[in-house]
Amino acid sequence: QATDSKREQFRQYLEKSGVLDMLTKVLVALYEEPEKPDSALDFLKHHLGASAPENPEIEALRLEVAEMKEKYEAVLEENKKLKTKVKVY
């Protein structure tokens, strides 16, 4: 009976936190897919991840990556110019 009580408490926790509703929606979406994906697990991961709130750390990392790409492009351009100057000498 203790395990049944724990299971019920856990089920209630999942229900209150919206997990059961979210899982149900994603599983219904998978069920209604006309062409089933090769990987049901990837489908679930994609749809659950897409509906999760954006983590501020992830956004900060995206901005940092964008800045690094800009710096990289600038360094490549500078490298090109310096190679041209070296050829002249």
3-state secondary structure 25-64: HHHHHHHHCCCCCCCHHHHHHHHHHHHCCCCHHHHHHHHH
**Tokens describing residue 25:** 């929606």
Is the Cβ–Cβ distance between 26 and 45 less than 8 Å?
A: no
pLDDT tens by residue, 52-73: 556 788 888 889 999 999 999 9
Looking at residue 42, what is its pLDDT?
87
- pTM of the predicted structure, to 2 decimals: 0.49
> Taking all residues of the chain, what is their mean pLDDT, rounded to a whole number?
89
